[in-house]
Copies of this chain bind each other. A is one copy, B any other.
């Protein structure tokens, strides 16, 4: 999947609609992935993201130690893999291999990006004040990539209890928001 660099000022538009994302990290034993829905934009530029990663997740300890990850935005084409990644643990599974996902090199962090995702955000942890109480990490997006050939990516959205919907059509009739 050919990707090009994406302006940091436009990153918020990728995450505001609330897609399920996959967080990739580079642990001591190799690359790892988790599936995540609890995230929010916190600042436009540089883009800041707040996200909750349970301390029970393998990713939690890797992220705490390495302070780096990639937020990868998948589309419906790989929905089964996204769910599979969410239902397994990196403690006993190499998820890149198990789900046939391709780790690719990033530019500014050590964590790999997931090639099959249409957008990838290289992130550094910049604030851990709420990690111990809420498992809440604050990330800064330092570099963003997008598959610009994908004009209308159908992102995946969790509705709870393992039910998912895909993003729908654009509402064309609305006036612009400031």
A residues within 8 Å of B by Cβ?
Answer: 10, 12-14, 16-19, 35, 37-43, 48, 50-52, 76, 79-80, 83, 86-87, 129-130, 134, 136, 138, 154, 156-171, 173-178
B18 touching A17 by the CB < 8 A rule?
yes
Q: Which of B43, B80, B157 contacts A18 (CB 8 A)?
A: B157
Contact of A42 among B14, B136, B163 (CB under 8 A): B136
Q: Is the CB of A167 within 8 A of B170?
A: no
B177, A10: Cβ atoms closer than 8 Å: no
Given A42-B136, A50-B134: 5 more A-B contacts, CB < 8 Å? A18-B19, A38-B41, A40-B52, A43-B134, A167-B168
With the chains together, A31 CA to B79 CA distance in Å?
Answer: 42
Say what secondary structure dominates the interface of chain A: mixed
* Given A16-B158, A87-B177, A136-B50; A166-B169 close (CB under 8 Å): yes
Contact of A176 among B12, B161, B174 (CB under 8 A): B161
Could you say how many copies of this chain the assembly holds?
2
A50 to chain B, nearest CB (A): 6
Q: How far is the CA of A39 from the CA of B49 in the complex (A)?
A: 10
Which 3 pairs across A and B sit closest by C-beta, in order of nearness?
Answer: A18-B18, A13-B160, A168-B168
A60 to chain B, nearest CB (A): 15
Question: Contacts A13-B161, A16-B158 hold; do A171 and B86 have CB atoms under 8 A apart?
Answer: no
**How far apart are the CA atoms of A16 and B52 in the complex, in Å?**
12
Residues of B within 8 A of A174 (CB): 79-80, 83, 162, 164
The answer for the CA separation of A80 and B175 in the assembled complex, in Å, is 8
Sample 23 A-B pairs with CB under 8 A, ordered by A number. Answer: A12-B160, A16-B38, A16-B160, A17-B165, A18-B18, A18-B157, A37-B41, A38-B40, A40-B40, A40-B52, A42-B52, A50-B52, A50-B136, A79-B171, A86-B178, A87-B177, A134-B138, A158-B177, A159-B170, A161-B177, A162-B177, A163-B170, A165-B167
